């Protein structure tokens, strides 16, 4: 049978003040559970069982929408009576995998990594262990179970609250990650008793039970200093985010990416950044984003699942599910909404929003403009205050603007409408019909002048003001 994984994700996280499973709290924009699952998959483990508890349906929903490389199932731990009890809930999963080894992980310890998983498995199989515990050596072991070693393995794990004074001096701690021989685990799992300060079924007790049955037990010391870290409250979660944030930034610094200031900078672990690119303060690069070479990602940009070409300059830009080609210059205060494609050499100025549109090469959208559901050609010029009226309250329609067109200031393009190649629209026009190529469209109301209208209005307002003050 193939090796498999049980992930314990039943905790509520009351101290987080949330109404969702703790394992779904985010680190760098991804649930902690995702970090654990992806580490398993990176290690070649694709048969995963998640033990859910509080708001377990939210775990099911997450698993259902997630793109998995293998088989992921869930089981319910209706009562949260400890880690051993949680694994008991997966007994049928274990029985279906007798003949292999089972990895048990905590769903709220996000920094487990593939190298640690594979290294521990190698030791586990080499020594034919009943159980191999992943451990870490730390300066402050407060709150963690201590690993008690022998000359040829370990004698057991003692939870912090059950430690003697001498055991509290041990700095090798249990990470909550174990490789078990699946059959050996089933032999002892239901022999666990809640004879401890918490009245819970500790999975760690399986170690001593296995040793008593003649099984060998050992510990693999991870080179990852953060492998055991979890979070029980918002401060702990913030610490995890800070560690993850700096780990990713350090990776890009080693790659040669320039950071002018790290204040507010956050980069997802699956983001890609090309050589020669500069990242300024306040930049958030979310997962799915790919940035080319020699770009400037200026202050306060937020990019999510967005592809950026080479030589792009962004300043205060928010972009979601968008594509920006080479040498575009965008910002400040620009929003690119989903399905937007900005082509090579486009210039977009301040206070512009573009949605579900293609902006052709060399086009300029200078400022105070909205372009929605549009196909815009190359070398087009948009004046200030242009808006596409793409929605009539029931349906959305597209606007087409040909190459080399000139859209005058404060033009409203009422879709569906086409402005032909090289055509002009006069400033202040509301264009409701197609404009032929090379034509000028003027669509304005007739100007009417009423002499002395404003003077009479002013006199009336002045008199009303004076009367009010006189009466007071």
Catalytic residues: 367
The whole-angstrom separation of Cα 292 and Cα 235 is 35
Residue among 395, 330, 420 nearest 369 (CA): 330
Please check if 444 is assigned to a binding site. Answer: yes
Cβ-contact 437, 402 below 8 angstroms:
yes
Instruction: Retrieve residue 269's tokens.
Output: 């672990």
Residue among 408, 458, 404, 448 nearest 428 (CA): 408
The whole-angstrom separation of Cα 79 and Cα 180 is 24
The whole-angstrom separation of Cα 78 and Cα 149 is 35
Residue among 27, 43, 38, 34 nearest 116 (CA): 43
Please check if 82 is assigned to a binding site. Answer: yes
Instruction: Retrieve residue 242's tokens.
Output: 């800070």
Please check if 427 is assigned to a binding site. Answer: yes
The whole-angstrom separation of Cα 265 and Cα 376 is 34
- Within 215-331, residue ranges assigned H as helices are 234-255
Torsion sign, CA atoms 107, 111, 115, 119: negative
Please check if 61 is assigned to a binding site. Answer: no
Please check if 232 is assigned to a binding site. Answer: yes
Please check if 391 is assigned to a binding site. Answer: yes
Peptide bond into 416 cis (omega under 30): yes
Please check if 361 is assigned to a binding site. Answer: no
Please give the sequence-ordered ranges of beta strands (E in DSSP) within 83-171, or none if there are none.
Answer: 101-106, 131-137, 146-150, 153-158
Other residues' Cβ atoms within 10 Å of the Cβ of residue 166: 9
Please check if 472 is assigned to a binding site. Answer: no
Instruction: For 67, list phi and psi in degrees, rounded to 5.
Output: -85, 105
> What's the gap between Cα 291 and its chain centre?
16
Please check if 108 is assigned to a binding site. Answer: yes
Cβ-contact 151, 175 below 8 angstroms:
no
Task: Kindly list the distances between the CA atom of residue 156 and the CA atoms of 146, 171, 283, 445, in Å, as whole numbers in the listed order.
Answer: 9, 14, 47, 87
Please check if 22 is assigned to a binding site. Answer: yes
Please check if 328 is assigned to a binding site. Answer: no
Residue among 18, 88, 15 nearest 49 (CA): 88
Annotated binding site for UDP-N-acetyl-alpha-D-glucosamine: 22, 77, 82-83, 145, 159, 174, 232, 337, 355, 370, 381
Annotated binding site for Mg(2+): 108, 232
Annotated binding site: 22, 77, 82-83, 108, 145, 159, 174, 232, 337, 355, 370, 381, 390-391, 427, 444
Annotated binding site for acetyl-CoA: 390-391, 427, 444
């Amino acid at each position: 049978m193939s090796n498999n994984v049980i992930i314990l994700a039943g905790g509520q996280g009351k101290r987080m003040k949330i109404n969702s499973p703790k394992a779904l709290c985010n680190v760098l924009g991804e649930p902690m559970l995702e970090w654990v699952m992806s580490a398993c998959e990176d290690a070649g483990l694709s048969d995963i069982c998640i033990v859910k508890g509080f708001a377990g349906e939210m775990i099911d929903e997450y698993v259902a929408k997630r793109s998995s490389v293998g088989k992921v199932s869930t089981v319910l731990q209706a009562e949260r009576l400890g880690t051993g009890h949680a694994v008991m809930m997966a007994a049928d999963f274990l029985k279906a995998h007798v003949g292999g080894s089972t990895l048990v992980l905590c769903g709220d310890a996000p920094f487990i990594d593939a190298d640690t998983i594979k290294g521990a498995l190698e030791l586990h199989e080499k020594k034919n262990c009943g159980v191999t515990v992943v451990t870490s050596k730390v300066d402050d072991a407060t709150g963690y179970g201590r690993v008690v070693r022998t000359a040829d393995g370990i004698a057991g794990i003692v939870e912090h609250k059950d430690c003697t004074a001498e055991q509290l001096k041990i700095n090798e701690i249990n990470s909550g990650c174990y490789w078990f021989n699946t059959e050996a685990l089933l032999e002892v799992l239901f022999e666990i008793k809640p004879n401890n300060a918490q009245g819970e079924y500790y999975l760690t007790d399986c170690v001593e039970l296995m040793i008593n049955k003649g099984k060998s037990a050992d510990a693999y010391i991870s080179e990852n200093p953060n492998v055991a870290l979890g979070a029980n409250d918002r401060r702990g979660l913030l610490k995890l985010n800070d560690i993850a944030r700096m780990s990713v930034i350090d990776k890009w610094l080693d790659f040669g990416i320039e950071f002018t200031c790290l204040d507010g900078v956050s980069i997802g672990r699956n983001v890609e950044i090309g050589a020669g690119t500069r990242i300024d303060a306040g930049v958030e690069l979310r997962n799915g984003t790919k940035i080319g070479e020699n770009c400037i990602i200026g202050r306060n940009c937020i990019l999510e699942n967005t592809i950026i070409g080479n030589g792009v300059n962004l300043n205060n830009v928010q972009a979601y599910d968008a594509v920006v080609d080479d040498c575009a210059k965008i910002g400040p205060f620009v929003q690119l909404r989903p399905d937007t494609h900005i082509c090579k050499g486009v210039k977009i100025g301040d206070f512009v929003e573009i949605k579900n549109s293609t902006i052709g090469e060399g086009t300029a959208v200078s400022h105070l403009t909205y372009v929605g559901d549009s196909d815009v050609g190359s070398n087009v010029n948009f004046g200030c205050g242009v808006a596409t009226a793409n929605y009539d309250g029931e349906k959305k329609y597209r606007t087409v603007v040909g190459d080399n067109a000139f859209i005058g200031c404060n033009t409203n393009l009422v879709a569906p409408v086409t402005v032909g190649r090289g055509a002009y629209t006069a400033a202040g026009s509301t264009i409701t019909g197609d404009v032929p190529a090379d034509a000028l469209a003027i669509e304005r109301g007739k100007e009417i002048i009423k002499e002395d209208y404003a003077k009479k209005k002013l006199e009336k307002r002045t008199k009303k003001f004076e009367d009010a003050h006189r009466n007071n």
